[in-house]
Amino acid sequence: MRPSRYFPHPSPFPECSRETARALSTAIVSELRKETAAGPPSREDGCVYTGAAGKAYCLYRIGELDLASQLLHLSLHQGSKRRRPSDGLSLMCGEAGVAVVAALVSHASGKTETAQKMVDKFCSFAASSSGLMTSKADDEWLYGKTGFLVGALELRRVLGNQAVPSQIVESVWNGLLRKGVSTGWVFPWHGEEYVGAAHGTMGVLHALMSVPEMCLAGGAGGSGNREALEAGLRTVLGWKCPDGNFPAVVEEKSQQMSELVHFCHGAPGAVLLFSRAALLFSSQAYAREAVAAAEIVYSRGLLRKGPGLCHGVAGNGFALLVLSRLPPPLLSASESERWRSRARQFAHFISTDEFRNGSRQPDTPLSMWEGWAGVLTFLKALSPSEPDKGDNLDPFPLFSVFPV
């Protein structure tokens, strides 16, 4: 891998203190307030991935509901004019994702009627003749059916299972499982067979395993859904490159080294996928795969590309933090503390002048997935103050490893 893609570990490599985390969070929120007061950037589309809705979600995660509501207003009333109708059902880039965030923020703010309207809007995409269940809809997490399923699960987790009808969840779940089995767990996107969390098989399998009652049910022909999913996991492991990382696309699996160590492409997605598999199937073998992927993330994860969740230091640090939450016997207490410590090291590095001066400025510097808003959720998840809260137990935003 070209050294220019990532920073070498500093020496010493300190952990992030509460004071540093608090100061950085305060600074990020201050910048979001300034931007909100000035109005959205000229190219702002209001979406979850890079727009106002994503910033609102991050503020919701840290309890800044008033500012989150202001950003949602911008997303709903200004950004919608710039979003593409073809992206409607996308969790990250479409109206469905905005509806999820609006429902969550409204619910947390006590606006029950508004929350229900947003849930109804989200569910309407499942009934649209040009929407969710058509063959034209993508399968993956960022734009397609997998992301829609994740949005439905998030609404059910927070608002209750009645929020999104079971038939919607089951229809999407069964459709994705059938597609995976029939294609050998390959989900082409724009002509490429992607592997990772954002566009590929890792993301689809992860979402499917987030519905435990479906995973452990019997499937067509009596073979069982678990067997089908584990076949998918074996397929992903078969794509691993010799260096231990995972390729962006299947055709690159024979390369000696895969350069991308991002949530969207590479080992961070594998940490999340195999952590989920370890929990669901009580499997130390899958836990070992998660640890192996995390070693790649730790060694090459201080990315110069930016601070964000998708292809930045916060997303990679988050993967380490998620791994640390695996309970015994999947991970010993000493192993858990080692990975928590490493996650805190990544958080500290984001706060340093070395990172700020040596990393690339994202195109959307305050956004959730490319920029600094996503860092807020990472810093919040590192806080030990409220270990029993759901957002602290299950930290990674909209890619849940510990579903209720």
Q: Which amino acid is at 85?
A: P
If asked whether residues 65 and 88 sit together in one domain, one would say yes
pLDDT tens, residue by residue, 345-385: 999 999 999 999 999 999 999 999 999 999 999 999 998 65
Confirm or deny that 264 is annotated as ligand binding: yes
If asked whether residues 62 and 163 sit together in one domain, one would say yes
Q: Who's near 363: CB < 8 A, 6+ residues apart?
A: 50, 370
Confirm or deny that 311 is annotated as ligand binding: yes
Sorting pLDDT into bands at 50, 70 and 90, what band is 81? low
What average pLDDT score do residues 208-224 get? 77
Beta bridge partners of 193: 188
* Least confident interval from 67-81, 140-154, 159-173, 273-287: 67-81
For residue 385, the SS3 value is coil
Beta bridge partners of 249: 194
If asked whether residues 115 and 28 sit together in one domain, one would say no
Do the domain assignments include residue 31? yes
* Least confident interval from 122-126, 201-205, 273-277: 122-126
What pLDDT, on the 0 to 100 scale, is given for residue 131? 54
What pLDDT, on the 0 to 100 scale, is given for residue 76? 85
pLDDT tens, residue by residue, 229-248: 999 999 999 999 999 999 99
Sorting pLDDT into bands at 50, 70 and 90, what band is 80? low
For residue 249, the SS3 value is strand
The half-sphere exposure of 382 on its side-chain side, counting CA atoms within 13 A, is 30
Question: Residue 291's Cα: distance from chain center in Å?
Answer: 18
N-terminal to C-terminal alpha carbon distance within the chain: 38
pLDDT tens, residue by residue, 139-187: 999 999 999 999 999 999 999 999 999 999 999 999 999 999 999 999 9
* Least confident interval from 160-169, 219-228, 277-286, 300-309: 219-228
Which has more confidence, 38 or 238? 238
Do the domain assignments include residue 291? no
Do the domain assignments include residue 67? yes
Q: Who's near 195: CB < 8 A, 6+ residues apart?
A: 201, 202, 236, 239, 246, 247, 248, 249, 250, 253, 265
Question: Residue 48's Cα: distance from chain center in Å?
Answer: 11
CA gap 47, 68 in Å, rounded: 13
Range of the domain at 99: 49-127+145-169
If asked whether residues 104 and 82 sit together in one domain, one would say yes
Structure-block tokens of residue 63:
């309890």
> pTM for this one?
0.94
The 3-state DSSP composition of the chain as helix, strand, coil percent (nearest 5) reads: 60, 0, 40
Do the domain assignments include residue 379? yes
Sorting pLDDT into bands at 50, 70 and 90, what band is 223? low
The full DSSP string for 229-258 is HHHHHHHHHHT--TTS---SBGGGTTSS--
* Least confident interval from 82-86, 225-229, 273-277: 82-86
What average pLDDT score do residues 131-137 get? 65
Residue of 151, 170, 168 lying closest to 211 (CA atoms): 170
Match 């009645």 to its residue by tokens.
162
The full DSSP string for 268-334 is HHHHHHHHHHHHHHT-HHHHHHHHHHHHHHHHH--BTT-SSTTTSHHHHHHHHHHHHTPPTTTS-HH
Specify the number of domains making up the chain. 2
Q: Which amino acid is at 280?
A: L
Do the domain assignments include residue 269? no
> How many CB atoms are located within 10 Å of the residue 111 CB?
16
Q: What is the CA radius of gyration of the chain?
A: 20
If asked whether residues 312 and 362 sit together in one domain, one would say yes
CA gap 269, 350 in Å, rounded: 20
CA gap 388, 7 in Å, rounded: 34
Do the domain assignments include residue 185? no
Q: Which amino acid is at 344?
A: R
| pLDDT surpassing 90 at residue 86 | no
Q: Which amino acid is at 213?
A: E
If asked whether residues 93 and 164 sit together in one domain, one would say yes
Percentage of residues of the chain with pLDDT beyond 70: 89
Sorting pLDDT into bands at 50, 70 and 90, what band is 394? low
The enclosing H or E element of 189 equals strand 188-189
Which has more confidence, 255 or 22? 22
If asked whether residues 35 and 121 sit together in one domain, one would say no
Structure-block tokens of residue 322:
């998620």
Which has more confidence, 223 or 304? 304
Do the domain assignments include residue 151? yes
If asked whether residues 94 and 151 sit together in one domain, one would say yes
